[in-house]
Chain A
Amino acid sequence: MTPILLTTSDLLLAAGLIGICVLLSVVLSLDIHRTLAIAAVRMAAQLVLTGSVLLFVFGRSSVWLTFLVLAFMFAAASYEVGSRQQVCLAPSWHFGIGGFATIFGTVVVVLVGLLTALQPHPWYQARIAIPMTGLLLGNVMNATSLSMNTLLSAVGRERAAIEARIILGATRAEAMNGLIRQAIRTALIPTLNQMAAAGVITLPGIMTGQILAGMNPLDASKYQIVLMSLIVSGNMIGATLSAGLTAARLTDARGRLRLDRLRD
């Protein structure tokens, strides 16, 4: 069960591959060699840094250090979830709703995972808690930002249709329901694709990693099944919360559609 460790020459080989890609970009005038080189250096630096930080944190086995790392991850996710959206709410609401939905969805499924299926001792053991949280956080963040983005861009387009319902006596929940459902569905499409493709078209990341690390493939697949279920649940929670809260923010207590709260 010992994983095959990579040597310096393996890393040089990887660097060589990037070098060939850069060369190809120049030869084929793709004009991405600069971006590619910068991205490669950045990726390497980020990963080595992350590896070193995790090595340090795992060695300390301190609760506070673990929570500090998690807090940093949550803060970064709260920022990322709201960026790259064309239509926004006022910043505090935008990042507040996105961050809250992401963190809430992640925390719920991480706790379920740590307290039931995995049960490390202690349950907050950095070696398990941090990678688990990272994996789920990334997924929930994607679902949440897709959900918010779908709702925010649809609400302007569908203004007349939503208001037609409100005018005819619909409550704000009745008027926004269709859009909320559409946003949640859109947010879950990548996850559903991933689940459908799992094992047939792609070998999922966790399973691949476990197999490479020496785990029996059947055990690795069980691991993947549990994690995939956690991912889909976290995504569902994050997408539903963010769509619901965004819809609530875009209406008011008198059931009016408040697109004046949008920023371009």
Chain B
Amino acid sequence: MTSLPSMDSRGSTRVSDRTHSRPLCPAGLSLRGLRNSHAGPFDVDVPRGRCLVVTGMSGAGKSVLLRMIADLDPHQGGVALDGVACADMPAHQWRRQVLYLPAEPGWWSDIVLDHMPDAAETRGLLVQVGLREGVLRTPVHRLSTGERQRLALVRALLLQPGVLLLDEPCSALDEATTRKVEALLGDRKAKGMAIVLVSHDQAQADRMADLRRHMMSGHFTGDAA
């Protein structure tokens, strides 16, 4: 086990400590030996403006991977954005830049406007994902699953993250709305956002992927990139 990277005091590893690893992606997301007891190690680069699609069966560890990238679960190995390691910046700043969108997003209040400002930018995004403006005034519990899913995407995009980690973002959406969401994501990608997308939808994977990985019981299988 001599190749195990050394650990810093916080229990996560600095990317640069791994002597044998490839150089970090200078503009984009780099994973180097990222792992915990359930999944990994994962080594992959997602340059800005690209989308990595991760496919695999339920329970293969796809959400575990996204949670580790966002530093939401304890892990070993490193993640870096634009060459700056996650461990080298305060965790909350990391998460704001490397934003995770869970399959079932949480809401800390029943009032939509507690989660996002009533601004022109918000309204613009609502239109792009096919939501009417009225959702801003509707209690969260009255919204449909699909509406909440898109609202959570709007809430995330308003923070202008550098990387978006998406866990089945269109699972509750019809075909036409899915295309709208994909168009919006494509637009952000063109502006330099990196995306890691977990999807069961093969057609969506084909449309979105610049890079692909398939996960099986906690590991990437063949390199399909």
Using a CB–CB cutoff of 8 Å, the interface residues on chain A facing chain B are 158-171, 174, 178, 252-257
Contacts and interface: CB of A to CB of B under 8 A. Distances in A.
A166 B95 CA distance: 8
A170 B90 CA distance: 11
B72 interface: yes
B17 interface: no
A161 B92 contact: no
A23 B11 CA distance: 65
A158 B108 CA distance: 8
Interface residues of B, number: 25
B10 A167 contact: no
A159 B106 CA distance: 8
Query: Main SS of chain B's interface residues?
Result: loop
B146 interface: no
B215 to A, nearest CB: 21
Contact of B107 (A161, A174, A254): A161
Contacts of A164: 105-108
Given A166-B95, A167-B100, A160 B74 contact: no
A249 to B, nearest CB: 15
Nearest to A160: B106
B73 interface: yes
Contacts, number: 64
A160 B101 CA distance: 12
Contact of A256 (B74, B90, B102): B74
Contacts of A254: 10, 12, 71, 74, 91
Interface of B: 10, 12, 70-74, 90-93, 95-96, 99-102, 104-108, 155-156, 159
A257 B155 CA distance: 21
B107 to A, nearest CB: 6
Given A166-B95, A178-B108, 11 more contacts: A164-B108, A165-B108, A166-B92, A167-B102, A168-B159, A169-B92, A169-B159, A256-B72, A256-B73, A256-B74, A257-B72
Contacts of B155: 168
Contacts of B108: 158, 161-162, 164-165, 178
A211 B71 CA distance: 62
A163 B92 contact: no
Contacts of B70: 167
A171 B90 CA distance: 9
B104 A167 contact: no
List the 6 shortest-distance A-B pairs measured between CB atoms, nearest first: A160-B106, A169-B96, A164-B106, A161-B108, A255-B91, A254-B91
Contacts of B99: 167-169
A256 B102 CA distance: 15
Nearest to A256: B72
Q: Most B CB atoms within 10 A — which of A174, A254, A255, A256?
A: A254
A169 B102 contact: no
A253 B10 contact: yes
B78 to A, nearest CB: 13
Contacts of A169: 92-93, 95-96, 99, 159
Nearest to B93: A169
A162 B92 CA distance: 13
A161 B106 CA distance: 5
7 contacts: A160-B107, A164-B106, A167-B70, A169-B95, A254-B12, A254-B74, A254-B91
